[in-house]
Structure 1
């Protein structure tokens, strides 16, 4: 059943067994797992079934002047499906090492292990529509698939790893029909959860909500799941400050701290030797039609031996901004950059900053780009037709542009894990939104260990490629550190601000996502990640959501059994 909170009676009170705040990937996955069962479910979504700009205003916030973080609202979305309405579809699981307490990574270690989470990745794949849970070249593409770089062998670099891509699946469109027809599920659109109200015991008494600024209502749930996103979930906990400890779950003082994003940049030049050496650069498709792309990583032993953070690398095309690449396709994409996704526009701007001393954007710059397109009219035309055929028209879309370099030279695009840093944080600002809730203030930071890990990782890669005889990694040591410091946080990866821990001394929620000191209140999503690995978070978000749904079912059965036993004892 789909309802509109703006049509509720003033001061209405809604009862349910499970209230889920947020109808993005995590919230919808939990609702689907509970659909058709004995628990009554209320799914609250601040937006509607389609995008409306005015509904995004509560996501606005401020960013510390010294931080390169994107504007607070960017890459977030109010509306059924949440950010899955605009995501790129990349699916990657965390690695076993990401769950470990690593002595060289402060505050590392999850209270759950890889073996406990791995089974839920397989179930998450069904929701994401990303095919089999297979992440090596032989598993995904078959034993006869060509090597990523022909002849390359290394004892530190894994080159048989892949990333898979969802359609990309918009959870609102994909799962709204199923939830609307589930007899135990109500979806309440345009429903803003403003505050979690608690008793002196810490238990949740109600959720204070609003359909419009002047139309308030309340929800009284047995269990509450905050699935509002890596930033918005923390904002709600911070704003629910009945404890006067700085927010619910803040007994340890860690709420809002340890804010991590993946660090992104493009550094160095990998030169294949000889330049005609076969290498797989473009997207491939599995037998079931899923797009995948090769990547390579330092293996876990190398990470431990050198004390490095986890990272992934991809062969990238030349800097798109610089017309010296003489590639008409790249110039056409650059000239049309205002039509691409905001995150890619921001990446282009980052590259331009890094090249500012070597690239002047005068009339000659623009003429060179136009000249590239003119010289490559036929390839550009073929690319445009292929883009329409594989990106615009089908449901399963080509993820993005990848262009082979004619000279066998590829910059390395990387995503790297951040060190959990308590001084990188989000908090509440002085301004409020139309509902009276304080807006977020973001102070994302890199650490010296982050920069050091980037530099030493690239040097380990350089030495490994040199030993192989298959390629040469050129690094400009004079500018390498400055380039590393100019790396940016990936905009949509908001992690760590309500971290999971074994005890309230070290985190905000326990291994099941239950908030310390507030029984029956759960948080799910990337906010609970204690460390972030290099993997895009969506697959792990859905896996943890499915795991939480199983826990809620078991918890409800346990409480019911205890209630029946208690009544039997009283009767006796």
Structure 2
């Protein structure tokens, strides 16, 4: 059953068994997994079934770091969450992502990949993947075209990592009917903005969630078990809940909000390769490059430093994609122009309009070149660029905090300080060198390198891929994490966290399918607690 919380009388108290905050991939997966178990479940979604500008504005916050992240538009506040603009690429984390690697401080999960393997098949089904086979050899057998164009990599120092393509699954649409089936004991509350976790006097037990509406109404949800599944809002909500603990709940060791990570994404260098026409399409993420393809492939074959090379070089896990585009399309000016256009489409006066217009004017020659090439399909302007997509090293000083500005609900907005370190930069540079050497060894061409030295500042254009992890990280040690190996907040008996915010390390893969697998695992654990 879907219920608009705005229609519920003010100050109503609602009782349930499990209360989940967040109607994105993690929250919807949890709710689906708990159906038919005889337990009452409430799923609280901040928005409605469709985009609403006033609700979306609740995402707004301040990014104070050198590399910027758009907090307002990188996340979506309506049922289905950020799966509403998810690209659909999927691959599991690699074995080394779970391991403590001596050259990466604070690396390691409380368990290895074997713990996750039983849950991935269910996650693949939720994400509607094709045959869930991540072997490049398998896809070479299935596709003669790929077999004839596949790069002859040796496996070391450069190997392959297959990503499969979800449709992509829009969780809010695909699983809506299943959640509202009569008799399944699940209620989805829309326009339900949680503003506080109310705990007992010792902060050992969560008692209720208090919601606040833009309309001024207040409601409470009481449950046996509470799960935060709201991305960046998980840390924010723990910090806002400071009535019992002034530093916020789960934050006795000042870990809430810390170790924020994203995927360090950088387009740099040109691949000047003698490869068959159409080869690049098998190594490219979906995007503008689709106009150069006659059909969309069901997989991507990314280039990846081998596990052995990562250890030898002392670098993070990384993958590299090719991106075909027109000259000028990847410049900050053209990206700023697209950002302005996107907000106009949503009916908003663009944020930071003066800054973005200045960026467009600063790159005006490249913007004009790109517009001309796109408009006329002039392939003489076509380029093949390398896109580095890297794990970020855990960094305690990279963090989510509460700012001083208030949102429409009277709550302190997020402030984000995203910090990249020396290891992040070295990983890009060493991977670039390995890739250039591999192209030369294969005799297929060379890589024109633009970013060359660790002494250089980060180039313009470093972005996060809107992949947000950490800030409520998992660790058996409460001094190094917010939740334990079962995603339960340290010190609080019935409060759990789901989603990318619990990841201790990020790996070099896409988030959604891994978030879903971890949510399936958490659902199995919660069923045991509800008996």
- TM-score, structure 2 as length reference: 0.87
Counterpart Cα distance in 2 of 1:168 and 1:477: 33
Tell me if the contact between 2:60 and 2:71 (Cα under 8 Å) persists in the aligned partners.
yes
* Partner of residue 203 from structure 1, selected from 194, 197, 205: 205
Partners in 1 of 2:373 and 2:513 — Cα distance?
42
Report if the CA contact (8 A) 1:455-1:481 is conserved: no
Residue 306 of structure 2 corresponds to residue 307 of structure 1: no
Residue 438 of structure 1: how far off its partner (Å):
1.1
Contact conserved, 2:110 with 2:485, CA < 8 A, in 1? Answer: yes
Aligned residue in 2 for 1:395: none
1:543-570 superposed Cα distances (whole Å, 9 cap, x missing partner): 111111111111212xxxxxxxxxxxxx
Residue in 2 aligned with 1:155? 156
Unmatched 5+ stretches in structure 2: 287-295, 345-349, 352-356
CA–CA distance in 2 between the matches of 1:323 and 1:112? 39
Match of 2:347 in 1: none
Matches within 5 A, 1:250-289: 250-272=251-273, 275-277=274-276, 280-282=279-281
| Structure 1 residues 106 and 375: CA distance shift in structure 2, 3 A | closer
Aligned to 2:393: 419
Whether the 8 Å CA contact 2:155–2:306 is kept in 1: the answer is no
CA drift of 1:367 comes to 6.8
Task: Provide the rounded CA distance (Å) in 2 between the counterparts of 1:127 and 1:299.
Answer: 29
- Figure out how many residues of one structure are paired with residues of the other and give that number: 505
Q: Using the TM superposition, give the Cα deviation of residue 254 of structure 1 relative to its aligned residue in structure 2, in angstroms.
A: 1.1
Aligned-pair CA distance for 1:279: 6.4
Structure 1 residue 334: Cα displacement: 11
Distance 2:85 2:329 in 1: 28
Corresponding position of 2:305:
298
Contact 1:455–1:484 (Cα < 8 Å) also in 2: no
Matching of residue 361 in structure 1 with residue 364 in structure 2:
yes
Q: Which residue does the alignment assign to 1:514?
A: 488
Corresponding position of 1:392? none
Alpha-carbon distance in 2 for matches of 1:339, 1:479: 35
Q: Cα offset for 1:354? A: 11
By how many angstroms is 1:433 displaced?
A: 1.7
**Pairing of 1:6-405 with structure 2 (within 5 A):** 6-64=6-64, 66-140=65-139, 142=141, 145-146=146-147, 149-159=150-160, 161-183=161-183, 184-201=185-202, 202-229=204-231, 231-244=232-245, 246-272=247-273, 275-277=274-276, 280-282=279-281, 291-318=298-325, 320-321=327-328, 361-362=364-365, 366=368, 369-370=371-372, 373-374=375-376, 376=378
Deviation at 1:374, TM superposition (A): 4.2
Query: Alignment partner of 1:518: what SS?
Result: coil
CA distance in 1, matches of 2:369, 2:168: 36
Q: For residues 105 and 243 of structure 1, do their structure 2 counterparts lie closer, same or farther at Cα, with a shift above 3 Å needed?
A: farther
Deviates more, 1:127-136 or 1:522-531: 127-136
Cα distance in 1 for partners of 2:369, 2:442 equals 41
* CA root-mean-square deviation: 3.3
2:384 alignment partner in structure 1:
410
TM-score (normalizing by structure 1):
0.81
Distance 1:323 1:108 in 2: 32
- Checking the alignment, whether the CA contact within 8 Å between 2:264 and 2:392 is kept in structure 1 is yes
Q: Distance in 2 between matches of 1:337 and 1:239?
A: 31
* Residues 121 and 133, structure 1, Cα contact 8 Å, conserved in 2: no
Counterpart Cα distance in 2 of 1:10 and 1:375: 58
CA distance 1:67–1:283, shift in 2 (3 Å): same
- Measured after TM superposition, the shift of residue 93 of structure 1 is 1.5
Measure how far apart 1:186 and its partner are: 0.7
Per-residue deviation, 1:122: 1.2
Gaps of at least 5 residues in structure 1 are 325-331, 347-351, 380-404, 558-572
Distance in 2 (CA, whole Å) between partners of 1:340 and 1:141 is 38
